[in-house]
Copies of this chain bind each other. A is one copy, B any other.
């Protein structure tokens, strides 16, 4: 059975109906995920003024926990947000969020919002009462087994990504109406997923994934105007391990269309081939050797003590 099928078989995606098999920590208390909500008056909602991160739990262990915590803490600093605990205290809450519902394959999500206006009525964001949310949901791939097998059909939208001068994309954030436009375009075009170009027509990223192209043996991922993905970092390290020259750089749409191989990478799926872009078939139209090899290595690392942090589920 494939990794995706194995993970998806027992896990249901959250829906509006029924109880969701995950829990949340909100302002000091645990509650069912269905009760985990943000106030309509929270500046995190009203201004998209919040940051988040998502850590994968696979077979009872966090994957690259410290990398995710480093990024989340850096995002908090960049937005001048404070969470109500230190790194260790945060990890304890994260553990509880998977231990209590007994989730061995899960996403743990951290969200810190600007929060509510203080009783002084100050409009200075530094005075707001920041709000913290931690929650777990069952692990699911965002692509189907079929899509993993045949490769993803991608639409590069006409809507450009918000430029990094306007919003720093290294702060993982929810300002994504650009992606929403792009997703509509992608669905209308019959594609599986969308990638947004920048304002100069180069490739940036997808909603939740980075992109790589391989040409003449060298792997390149867009370096500017994108999230610094932890899976991207993993791929760069795996390339080094197996001797494939890899790095960050400019990737034009043509670089993608005429790549020897192309793939996306995400914590919610691993390394997955891109085999069609705007109706144009990439290379031979199937995920190729390096893509498959990197994906296998990526999943193997999920059992490598150097990359994981085991969770004590107790009795």
Interface residues of A (CB under 8 A from B): 13-17, 20, 24, 33-34, 36-41, 44-49, 79-80, 109, 111, 114-119, 121, 123-126, 129, 133, 135, 142, 159-163, 165-168, 171, 173-181, 183-184, 187, 199, 207
Contact = CB atoms under 8 A, between A and B. Distances in A.
A175 B180 CA distance: 12
B48 A175 contact: yes
23 contacts: A15-B116, A15-B117, A16-B119, A16-B129, A20-B41, A38-B38, A40-B133, A44-B45, A45-B45, A47-B174, A80-B184, A114-B180, A125-B183, A126-B184, A126-B187, A160-B165, A162-B163, A163-B166, A163-B199, A166-B178, A168-B177, A175-B175, A175-B176
A119 B48 contact: no
Contacts of A159: 165-166
Contact of A45 (B20, B38, B135): B38
Nearest to A129: B16
Contacts of A175: 48, 162, 175-177
Contact of A13 (B121, B125, B129, B167): B121
Contacts of A199: 163, 165
A171 B177 contact: yes
Contacts of A46: 174, 176
Contacts of A171: 177
B129 A40 contact: no
A226 B66 CA distance: 41
Report the copy number of this chain in the oligomer: 2
Nearest to A17: B119
Contacts of A118: 15-16
A180 B125 contact: yes
A183 B43 CA distance: 13
Contacts of A14: 41, 116-117
Given A14-B41, A37-B37, A162-B178, 5 more contacts: A15-B117, A20-B41, A34-B39, A37-B40, A44-B45
A49 B116 contact: no
B160 A166 contact: yes
A178 B183 CA distance: 22
Given A16-B119, A38-B40, A118-B16, A173 B183 contact: no
Nearest to A113: B45
A117 B13 contact: yes
B166 A48 contact: no
A312 to B, nearest CB: 26
Contacts of A142: 123
Contacts of A178: 162, 166-167
